[in-house]
Amino acid sequence: MEVRRDLVILFMISLSIWEKESFYTPQDIVIVGAGLMGLWTAYELKKRSPQLQITIVERNTTPLGASTRNAGFACFGSPTELMSDMETMGTDEMLRIVELRYQGIEKIKSHFTESSIDYEYCGGYECINQDSRYWYAFDDRVSQLNKLLKDITGQRSIFKYAGQKMSGLGLMGFDVLVENSSEAALHSGKLVQALTQLVRSSGVNILDGFHVYSWEADQDRSVITSTNGISIQSKKLVFCTNAFTDSLLNKPMVEPGRGQIILTTPIPDLPMKGTFHFDEGFYYWRHLGDRILLGGARNMDFDGEQTLDMDGSETIKNALIDFLRRHLHPSLSFEIADSWSGIMGFTKDKKPYQGRTEQGYYVALACNGMGVALTPMIAEQIAGTVLQDF
């Protein structure tokens, strides 16, 4: 049994009999967190067992973590990021996770029309410079990746050199450009909105503004209580709270990593179309209509960005602006129109986590910065784990 008591109860509400017997009636499964992981998990559970009563609780009026604050890349890994993953987790694990990401993107495409989530087959690129730690034998490394990914993507060379396109895209200051024509962009807000509608229409209740303050769980019975003292009982309890999990569960499972984003004003005649990566994925940018959305630079200050605080840092924001000024052709002038940040969840081995804990509750989290693609598939795994125990 686990109890958490570090937040302040704001006020206590006496529920009416009507509320007790409708919104807050005991459930088969309660999921905490209505980000992509919580939503896909509810969807999978309901699809496999339509008779289950499922409620998702979300502390904010809309999800507030990473799912609606990301860059909207439908990507499965840029070359240097995959080279780094091979070092961190080994080739087999790297491939297993790439395959999950690839399948996750296919699943998104099969559930939503392109227009409903602004899915754009724009292609993706990685920009590489000679000071990359993977520059040595770079050709060989790319060939190796192409061979390894062939069975997953069905393409002989998923990564192709495309240096000739650099100036036509309005870019400068990179030594090499590698193209992945399978990569795409989407609208993260519209994706979460469409998925929310799909989940609700399958019969799942979603309670927004329910901030879980304390909870108890054992193998067959759980209860969560909100900051205003409302409780819901369930047979199973699943936490999809990603970066916010450690303080809620009072145990170390995931490290937060803030991702900051800047958005330019419209740039007349912007030639850039696509999603772009640099430096093992630490910088990423894309066109958004005639604007550029650029994020990253977390590696400039890992310690400072290991935070749940959504107020961005000026240092990172300035580094992003500086990056854009250095790499966008000077004929393309811009101002910064907007900026925001979101919080990702990371594990040391860069692998996502799903499973049942000894205490009897379930956890699915840590897509390590690629949850658009990964959450649809990790949700299938956690749904299978939960249903095994019914």
Ligand X SMILES: Cc1cc2nc3c(=O)[nH]c(=O)nc-3n(C[C@H](O)[C@H](O)[C@H](O)COP(=O)(O)OP(=O)(O)OC[C@H]3O[C@@H](n4cnc5c(N)ncnc54)[C@H](O)[C@@H]3O)c2cc1C
Q: Minimum distance from CB of 225 to ligand X (Å)?
A: 11
Number of residues that bind ligand X (CB under 6 A): 44
Q: Considering all CA atoms of the chain, what is the largest pairwise distance in Å, rounded to the nearest integer?
A: 70
34 binds ligand X (CB under 6 A): yes
72 binds ligand X (CB under 6 A): yes
58 binds ligand X (CB under 6 A): yes
Applying CB under 6 A, which of residues 30, 31, 35, 288 lies at the interface with ligand X? 35
From the list 64-72, 128-136, 264-272, 354-362, the region that binds ligand X by CB under 6 A is 64-72
71 binds ligand X (CB under 6 A): yes
- Any idea which residue has 């854009």 for tokens? 324
Question: Measured between alpha carbons, how far is residue 259 from residues 161, 185, 253 in Å?
Answer: 28, 18, 19
Question: Is 41 strand, coil or helix?
Answer: helix
- The closest alpha carbon to 207, from 224, 222, 220, 190, belongs to 224
Backbone angles phi, psi at 205, to 5 degrees: -85, 140
Distance CA 195, CA 108 (A): 9
Residue 275's identity, in one-letter code, is T
Applying CB under 6 A, which of residues 206, 217, 267, 373 lies at the interface with ligand X? 373
From the list 115-123, 263-271, 320-328, 336-344, the region that binds ligand X by CB under 6 A is 336-344
Strands (E), 80-211: 124-128, 160-161, 176-180, 184-185, 205-208
The footprint of ligand X on residues 342-361 (CB under 6 A) is 342-344
Residue 25's identity, in one-letter code, is T
The first and second tokens of residue 203, run together, are 């019969």
- Is beta strand 176-180 parallel, antiparallel or unpaired with respect to 160-161? antiparallel
Indicate the residue among 156 and 251 with the shorter CB distance to ligand X. Answer: 251
The footprint of ligand X on residues 153-212 (CB under 6 A) is 211-212
Applying CB under 6 A, which of residues 29, 38, 288, 327 lies at the interface with ligand X? 38
Strand (E) or helix (H) holding 198: helix 188-201
Backbone angles phi, psi at 382, to 5 degrees: -70, -35
Q: Minimum distance from CB of 374 to ligand X (Å)?
A: 7
Residue 24's identity, in one-letter code, is Y
The footprint of ligand X on residues 257-276 (CB under 6 A) is 259, 261
Residues 275, 378 contacting (CB under 8 angstroms): no
From the list 27-35, 133-141, 146-154, 300-308, the region that binds ligand X by CB under 6 A is 27-35
Applying CB under 6 A, which of residues 24, 244, 285, 362 lies at the interface with ligand X? 244
145 binds ligand X (CB under 6 A): no
Distance CA 100, CA 80 (A): 19
From the list 32-40, 80-88, 123-131, 328-336, the region that binds ligand X by CB under 6 A is 32-40
Residues paired with residue 276 on neighbouring β-strands, in sequence order:
125, 285
Applying CB under 6 A, which of residues 29, 94, 367, 386 lies at the interface with ligand X? 367
Indicate the residue among 64 and 169 with the shorter CB distance to ligand X. Answer: 64
- Any idea which residue has 């396109």 for tokens? 165
305 binds ligand X (CB under 6 A): no
Applying CB under 6 A, which of residues 117, 238, 294, 365 lies at the interface with ligand X? 365
Q: Minimum distance from CB of 44 to ligand X (Å)?
A: 14
256 binds ligand X (CB under 6 A): no
Indicate the residue among 24 and 244 with the shorter CB distance to ligand X. Answer: 244
- The closest alpha carbon to 177, from 276, 311, 260, belongs to 276
- The closest alpha carbon to 81, from 157, 133, 151, 120, belongs to 133
From the list 15-23, 262-270, 324-332, 339-347, the region that binds ligand X by CB under 6 A is 339-347
Indicate the residue among 42 and 344 with the shorter CB distance to ligand X. Answer: 344
Residues 31, 39 contacting (CB under 8 angstroms): no
Query: What is the contact surface with ligand X in residues (CB under 6 A)?
Result: 32-38, 57-60, 63-67, 69-73, 75, 211-212, 240-244, 248, 259, 261, 295, 342-344, 365, 367, 369-373, 375
